[in-house]
Structure 1
Amino acid sequence: MHKFPIRVYYEDTDMGGVVYYANYLRFIERARSDWVRKLGNDQNAMRDDGLIWVVQRVEADYRTPARFDDELMVETEVAKVSPARLVMEQRVMRGEVEIFQAKVTVACVTAEGKPQRLPAEIRALS
């Protein structure tokens, strides 16, 4: 399991000091990028080779709100790997409390949008 810390800043919140719902997607995106980097997958090199990661599907559940200055932890686990898709389960935690959960499906495509096989280091996770 990959863990990625996040602190809630004022810019992440709405007028009531509650994290704006779309910002949870930003938080889990940062965690996925960090996870891929730690696996040794260079996203800049992939892009230079004409390959990019795209999110194909997100299923999200908002459990309880996070607020300004909360310290959160994004947990990322691989749920399923196929040659062309990767499914991850991600949770945003405040201490022991799950405040947000998502199931995210990503794929690798060319700059023209044509599907490609996932990088070998990702396929090896299956």
Structure 2
Amino acid sequence: MADSATYSFPVRVYYEDTDFSGNVYHAAYLKFFERGRTEFLRDVGIHHFELAVQGLAFAVCSMQIEFLRTAHIDDLLTVTTEVNAITGARLVLRQQILRADTVLTEAEVVVASIRMSGGVARMPKQLLALLRSDKP
């Protein structure tokens, strides 16, 4: 299992993220979480393009979300991503979206390593090492 380090990524709420009332539309939170996961992976040295060259990708298998408070247009948010568990082919992440110190939305996301040609694939040892923070 990875250490408990939490990766943080800032996100500004734009007009396109909101509904008619100026509140963030629920589907926009999914985009914010995706950006947080992508930047977390980039930070540990995993790039989607390099995975694709190897014929691999990550796919979200499940996501449990709780919407606790509303974000608004022009808010500066922080998306946090933390690894909860790692198996040979799956990654369980805990993510939160905060405004200052207030948690607005939180999610548990299960991501699987897949072959781009189809099917689940075990993650290469080097990739697992990066995720576990015990760099090869």
State the TM-score, normalized to the length of structure 1: 0.95
Match of 1:45 in 2: 50
Whole-angstrom distance in 2 between the partners of 1:53 and 1:106 = 6
Deviating 4+ runs (over 6 angstroms):
none
The reply to whether residue 108 of structure 1 matches residue 113 of structure 2 is yes
Match of 1:10 in 2: 15
Counterpart amino acid of 1:44? F
Match of 2:84 in 1: 79
Deviation readout 1:61-112 (Å, 9 max, x if unpaired): 0001000000100011100011110000000000111000000000111112
Count residues in correspondence: 126
The reply to whether residue 31 of structure 1 matches residue 36 of structure 2 is yes
State the TM-score, normalized to the length of structure 2: 0.88
Gaps of 5+ in 1: none
Match of 2:71 in 1: 66
Match of 2:3 in 1: none
Identity across matched positions, percent: 38
Deviation readout 1:36-69 (Å, 9 max, x if unpaired): 0111112102112211110000000000100000
Q: Is the 8 A contact 1:41 1:121 kept in 2?
A: no
1:121, CA displacement in angstroms? 4.5
